[in-house]
Amino acid sequence: MLKLDAIRTRREGRVLFATLDAPPLNLIGPAIVNDLVTLVQHLETDGNDISVVVFDSTSPDFFSAHVDMTAVPALREKLARLGTGSGLGTLYLRISSLKQVTIASIAGRVRGAGSEFVLACDMRFASRERALFGQPENGVGAIPGAGAVQHLTRLMGRAGRWKSCWALTISPPTWRSTTAGSTARCPTRR
């Protein structure tokens, strides 16, 4: 089994569970990025005995809050392991291109780079009671830069992408109305 620092892994048959464990917010920072790069490289080269990867979080409140803006230079260093010109978008594209089925199991807030991460997965299952989604880049006039626009287009079509991407609130009713079709909403297990 892979030994990672910010992602716990466990196997059940052909299913690999990869649990984000970088409290309190699971920011997309150097530790998570390093582990995701290692995991993706392992799945691409030695993952033939794994059919499904389920990403979840140890935090009940945050799947992933966003990118760690204080660590952008260190992120670039970790992402350089993927090759020339690599960024978060490249990492997420590699996740979306894995031969394994990737599933995000979401029971808390997921915003910005965290949202782009779950959009790169093949399927997303979100707690009806606890999941909140958002792209804060829109509030400052920026377009999400790690693949959200591309993944939303693939999932929802061009019109749905813009409707979802430019919804500035993260309230569950607004999110449900703008992203219907990209994520399954499920009750939280008690």
Query: What pLDDT is stored for residue 76 in this prediction?
Result: 80
State mean pLDDT over 35-40.
95
| Torsion angle defined by CA atoms of residues 14, 20, 21 and 25, in that order, rounded to the nearest 10 degrees | -170
Taking the alpha carbons of 52, 58, 63, 69 in that order, is the dihedral positive or negative? negative
Alpha carbon distance 31, 134 (integer Å)? 23
- Secondary structure percentages of the chain, helix, strand, coil, to 5: 40, 25, 35
Q: Residue 102 above 60 pLDDT? A: yes
What whole-number distance in Å separates Cα of residue 9 and Cα of residue 17?
A: 5
Structure tokens given for 167: 């919804």
- Residues 78, 29: Cα–Cα separation, whole Å: 9
Q: Which percentage of the chain shows pLDDT scores above 90?
A: 39
What is the per-residue DSSP string for 38-72?
A: HHHHHHHHH-TT--EEEEEES-SSEEE--B-GGGH
Contacts for 117 with CB less than 8 Å, ≥ 6 apart: 28, 55, 64, 92, 95, 104, 110, 146
pLDDT of 21 higher than 80: yes
Lowest mean pLDDT among 46-60, 94-108, 148-162: 148-162
Q: How many residues are there in the chain?
A: 190
- Residue pLDDT, tens place only, 61-95: 999 988 887 887 887 888 887 775 678 888 888 99
- pLDDT over threshold 80, residue 11: yes
Residue 59: what pLDDT?
Answer: 95
Give the mean model confidence (pLDDT) for residues 6-13: 97
The confidence score (pLDDT) of residue 73 equals 81
Residue partners of 98: CB distance under 8 A and separation at least 6: 40, 43, 44, 47, 53
**Residue ranges per domain, the chain?**
7-186
7-186 folds as 2-enoyl-CoA Hydratase; Chain A, domain 1 (3.90.226)
Q: Looking at residue 177, what is its pLDDT?
A: 46
Output the average pLDDT for the chain: 79
Of 75-79, 113-117, 118-122, 175-179, least confident by mean pLDDT is 175-179
Other CB atoms closer than 10 Å to residue 186's CB: what's the count?
15
